[in-house]
Amino acid sequence: MLHPVRILREDPDFLIVAKPTGMAMHDADEGIVTAVKAISGDSQLHLCHRLDTVTSGVICLARNARTAASVSAQFANREVQKFYLAVTDKKPKKKQGTVSGDMQNRRRGQHILLKSQTNLAVTQFFSGSIAPGLRGIVVRPLTGKTHQIRVALKSLCSPILGDSLYGGTQSDRTYLHAWRLSFMHNGKRITTQCPPAEGEHFATQAFALWLDSLGDPAKMNWPAYAFPAPSSPDTR
């Protein structure tokens, strides 16, 4: 049974909600748009971006076409700040850094990371110990490709816990959560942060202590990154 959607922020032009893990984007009966309409009373809502079905966390829905176009353009132009949380039981090849490369569809819905640099997926991360055999990862994706974070962590030999598609150890959920979202609206920065609420490993005191130790994710010592060449606009 899916957890209920929670409204985190309400504005005349948009709603920011917490999506539960397992909820699809476009399912006409049980998707995120249908669920938010039911609790908000809105008859028309527009998705500004997407999350994988297995991913929980912060997502923005616009209440009118103008706001949808504005926020979607910020995503396409890489102007939105996004931070995610993940848990893995495999130590990554390095504790922090940047993963970049093109992505290609593979079999069974998988994607793989390539060495080519034509239409880049760029993912930055820091990892740290939560408990023996368990590591937390805070992720800043600079682009928004399908399965980007899941593929990046797989490439580091640390697939996300519960992510069976990419070789993660079986668990009660896929431990990927959209933690914080920040964009501009009417000249003001809108920032919404929501800790994960589902999953036995997200609920431990050890995870809470690790999360508290991170502080403001925007102020972490993220490495500088310059895109080598203009790339095709993102759609997430």
Active site residues: 52
Distance (Å, rounded) from C-alpha 133 to C-alpha 127? 13
- Cβ atoms of 101 and 117 closer than 8 Å: yes
Distance (Å, rounded) from C-alpha 150 to C-alpha 77? 22
Tokens coding 61? 């829905």
Tokens coding 101? 């490369």
